[in-house]
């Protein structure tokens, strides 16, 4: 599993002792993948959902503890009604499959983002799936839905302000650790590696607080074309960079 051949046909080996515990992925390029094949956008998102299943399995096989994926951002509502509906229908299907499989899988599924804006039936599926999987001990899959890093920080700041106003904290007691308890990602270690597909080199409002020291990996591959080998290549890159965290 830790051995692989990269795109230049070099045989490489991942260091099992230095695997990232948490990988975050911006799954970009579904639309272009579909356009290249003269298919409707929804076919691109469907292919993207399939890739997500495959890559989750690869991450499990590699012993990754947390995988966080950007499935729908706070900005994605600006897309056409048809596209938003298409993604939401895929999401329903995806969540249902997960609920059906939850018994035999050992994956904990957790949603980050403001789910209150999603349709009621999707919110119910989320509650059910999180409940069914909350004691699972294998990988945690965090799916970002109606998620924005700024929105997450604003929601956290509002809650902190309430707790300051009602006397739970003095303002000077709020440090990084306290603020983190108000984020959607509380109790999840920060990602060591963030991957974005499709050649765009932007963060697009994903995990703004959490990626302060994260290694970034950009690939030209469109998300539906992203493979286990590409995941290993990104981990290899990460393992061969020096992380200094501002020190020397
Ligand atoms: C970016 O591609 C992708 C999205 C906005 C949605 C991501 C959705 C999935 C991977 C599938 C659905 C996920 C679940 C969990 C059901 P894009 O449309 O921005 O691509 P483009 O930049 O080429 O147009």
Find, among 143, 23, 148, the residue nearest to 94 by Cα: 143
pLDDT of residue 176: 97
Query: What is the tally of helices (H) and strands (E) in the chain?
Result: 7, 8
- How far apart are alpha carbons 248 and 237 in whole angstroms? 20
pLDDT of residue 42: 96
Q: Do residues 153 and 209 make contact, with C-beta atoms less than 8 angstroms apart?
A: yes
pLDDT of residue 118: 98
Cα–Cα distances in angstroms (integers) from residue 244 to residues 213, 214, 215, in the given order: 9, 11, 11
* C-beta of 31 in contact with ligand 1 (< 6 A): yes
* C-beta of 30 in contact with ligand 1 (< 6 A): yes
- The whole-model pTM stands at 0.96
Our answer to whether residue 7 is catalytic in this structure is no
Mean pLDDT (the chain) is: 96
Q: Residue 183: how many CB atoms within 10 A of its CB?
A: 19
Encode burial over 184-220: b for 16+ CB neighbours within 10 A, e otherwise: bbeebebbbbbbbbbeeeebebbbebbbeebbbbbbe
> Ligand 1 pocket: which of 24, 31, 39, 222 to mutate (most atoms <8 Å of CB)?
31
Q: Do residues 107 and 56 make contact, with C-beta atoms less than 8 angstroms apart?
A: yes
Residue 243 has pLDDT above 80, yes or no: no
* C-beta of 28 in contact with ligand 1 (< 6 A): yes
Rg of the Cα atoms in the chain: 19
pLDDT-based confidence at residue 100 (cuts at 50, 70, 90) = very high
* C-beta of 86 in contact with ligand 1 (< 6 A): no
pLDDT-based confidence at residue 16 (cuts at 50, 70, 90) = very high
Q: Write the pLDDT tens digit of every residue in 30-43.
A: 999 999 999 999 99
Q: Do residues 223 and 1 make contact, with C-beta atoms less than 8 angstroms apart?
A: no
Q: Write the pLDDT tens digit of every residue in 57-81.
A: 999 999 999 999 999 999 999 999 9
pLDDT of residue 245: 80
Q: Write the pLDDT tens digit of every residue in 102-128.
A: 889 999 999 999 999 999 999 999 999
Q: Do residues 75 and 148 make contact, with C-beta atoms less than 8 angstroms apart?
A: yes
> Ligand 1 pocket: which of 37, 48, 221, 224 to mutate (most atoms <8 Å of CB)?
48
* Residues contacting residue 201 through CB under 8 Å, at least 6 positions apart: 216, 218
Q: Write the pLDDT tens digit of every residue in 145-180.
A: 999 999 999 999 999 999 999 999 999 999 999 999
pLDDT-based confidence at residue 246 (cuts at 50, 70, 90) = confident
């Amino acid at each position: 599993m830790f051995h692989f051949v990269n795109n230049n046909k070099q045989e490489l080996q991942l260091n099992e002792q230095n695997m990232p515990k948490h990988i975050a992925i911006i799954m970009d390029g579904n639309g272009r993948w579909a356009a290249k094949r003269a298919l409707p956008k929804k076919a691109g998102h469907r292919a993207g959902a399939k890739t997500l299943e495959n890559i989750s399995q690869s991450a499990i096989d590699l012993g990754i503890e947390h995988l966080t994926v950007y499935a729908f951002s706070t900005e994605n509502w600006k897309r056409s009604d048809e596209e938003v509906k298409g993604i939401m229908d895929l999401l329903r299907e995806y969540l249902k499959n997960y609920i059906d499989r939850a018994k035999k899988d050992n994956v904990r599924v957790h949603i980050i983002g403001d789910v209150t804006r999603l349709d009621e039936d999707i919110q119910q599926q989320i509650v059910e799936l999180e409940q069914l999987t909350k004691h699972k001990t294998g990988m945690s899959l965090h799916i970002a839905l109606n998620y924005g890093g700024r929105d997450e920080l604003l929601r956290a700041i509002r809650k902190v302000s309430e707790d300051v106003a009602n006397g739970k904290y003095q303002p000077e007691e709020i440090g990084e650790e306290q603020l983190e308890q108000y984020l959607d990602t509380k109790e999840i270690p920060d990602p060591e590696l963030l991957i974005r597909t499709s050649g765009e080199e932007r963060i697009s409002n994903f995990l703004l607080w959490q990626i302060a020291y994260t290694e970034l990996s950009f690939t030209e591959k469109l998300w539906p074309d992203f493979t286990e080998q590409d995941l290993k290549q990104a981990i290899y890159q990460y393992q061969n960079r020096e992380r200094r965290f501002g020190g020397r």
